[in-house]
Amino acid sequence: MSSSVPVPGRRTSVSASDPPNFIPIPTNTRGIPTTSFGAQSPPSSTAAGGLSGSFSTSPSASSHMRAGSASVGSVFHGMARQLTAFLPVTYPLEEEPEKRQGKTKVLLLENINLDAAQFLKDQGFEVDHVTKAWSEEELISKLPHYQAIGIRSKTKITQKVIDANPQLLVIGCFCIGTNQVDLEHAARRGIAVFNSPYANSRSVAELVISEIIALSRQIVDRTHEMRAGIWNKISKNCWEIRGKTLGIVGYGHIGSQLSVLAESFGMQVVYYDVIPIMPLGSARQVDSLDELLSKADFVTLHVPEIPDTINMIGEAQFAQMKTGSFFINNARGKVVDLAALAAALESKHLAGAAVDVFPKEPGSNGPGFNDALGDFIPRLRNCSNLILTPHIGGSTEEAQRAIGSEVSNALYRYLTYGTSLGSVNFPEVDLRAITTNDERHIRVCHVHRNEPGVLKSINNILADHNIEKQFTDSKGDIAYLMADISGVGQEEVEGIYNGIKNTRANILTRLLY
């Protein structure tokens, strides 16, 4: 973990209790260039004259200026500058006007790994850590105090929430999925969204293997009987998984890992995906979902929640499955009609099932898994040979540390350097760090509508300065420009900023200097 750099005015700990001595966070799980990362040691005292800062604004009003963060930079041709925030005089501050250092506040909900919270705190951010999800009403009333938020799968960042928080810069989804965020509207408001699409793949794949074995041997039912004092040693309808066929719907990062694990147990693997994918091992892609359902002894889903997948498995699909087969869903709750699953189990058409995700889920641990979530819940709870788990597919120490590392680093890089590599809704743009050797440099981070003439307008504003580095990219209607400008005095920064933010296509402008 990076060495901490004390920053005046910021708290010295997260609001949750300090984490124990965990295994260090595994960094850079996606191969991000090292020049985008924070430094591993604090800057020397000689860098004091090279302090840089940032100020930025929402597209609508100067009363919602967005501040950058104080942090140590990455190493490149010398140590990167320590970033502090320069704010225009109109920025509303509760403290004395002369104290113009920005404080970036980060909110982490849903009990995100505390190592991630500690990492962000060590970079100089002010971090609040909350164990539960927040409702839309809570987000609207409380989120305006924060420039960044980290969530898992239960918190919903809707258009209404986004519109109520013009100060919000970035959203981190500490999970695989991003369907809990209105990605398009976030992009239109200049808010980048990051996730961790790979880090918990192994954890989910291992859970599926454990469920396949447990279902085959009716372990859950035998355990319940033993706890009730009943000895019921039977072998009827208990099977080895060797030689059985596993059908994987969705052959992405989880599905392909699961394929390898299943073959090591002697299973045959078939899979269905909407695009042709090269199989691993001896797995075989089938032409249709119907073919997979009719061939497999075990069917497991690993698909995102999109319009095409909602309720993709219902009464007709369960009827196509073999009598006595098994069904597993560790993907998304809305892709399965759970009332139809209950009926298939009650009729004994299916021999068992495992469900880890539900269309509606409680917002926190404790009582609440009842018919308020759907009238099928009591029916499922009464089904035999059914494994019900509370959305724990990626809930391992290893997965949560890896996710925490990846997403917290993404938040840090975007807030501090403007780097958008890995964003799911944003153009991916990066420049190497501004170092202590680069005096009188500023970095322009300009989110704008993808329209003709934007670069011409920006370059006209910067015409009296040397553009050292520049990179722009677009994604749909949104474009993102990063440019490093040399020979800029502090007295010129606000003029450049105002010129760029007042251009016709501006969504969000930040300057780091």
Measured distance CA(22)–CA(116) in Å, rounded: 11
CA distances 210 to 103, 176, 184, 318, 427, Å, are 46, 21, 37, 22, 39
Structure tokens at 383: 């089904």
As given in the structure block, the two tokens for residue 51 are: 């302090």
Measure the CA–CA gap between 125 and 414, rounded to whole angstroms. Answer: 13
CA distances from 220 to 225, 255, 333, 368 (A): 9, 25, 22, 22
Alpha helix ranges (H) inside 60-131: 114-122
Q: Which of 391, 441, 446, 510 is catalytic?
A: 391
- Give me the sign of the Cα torsion angle 197, 199, 204, 206: positive
64 catalytic per annotation: no
Cα 201-205-211 angle, rounded to 5 deg: 150
Q: Is residue 389 within 8 Å of residue 355, measured between CB atoms?
A: yes
Strand (E) or helix (H) holding 458: helix 454-461
* Active-site entry in 152, 189, 253, 332: 332
Residues 6+ apart with CB under 8 A from 225: 231, 232
Only one residue has tokens 């693997």, namely: 269
Alpha carbon distances (Å) from 21 to 13, 24, 25, 129, 366: 15, 8, 11, 18, 27
Helix axes 201-216, 397-417, angle to 10 degrees: 160
- Give the whole-angstrom CA distance, residue 233 versus residue 88: 75
224 is a catalytic site residue: no
Cβ neighbours, 10 Å, residue 14: 21
Alpha-carbon span 396 to 409, nearest angstrom: 20
Annotated catalytic residue within 361, 428, 468, 492: 361
Both tokens of residue 227? 């706890």
As a whole number of angstroms, the distance between CA 83 and CA 88 comes to 16
Tokens of 314: 């219902």
Q: Would residue 391 show up in a list of annotated catalytic residues for this protein? A: yes
Query: Containing H/E element for 292?
Result: helix 289-295
Q: Which helix (H) or strand (E) holds 254?
A: helix 253-264
| Strand partners for 353 | 327, 386
CB contact at 8 A, 346 and 384? no
Question: Would you please indicate which residues are annotated as catalytic (active-site) residues?
Answer: 332, 361, 391
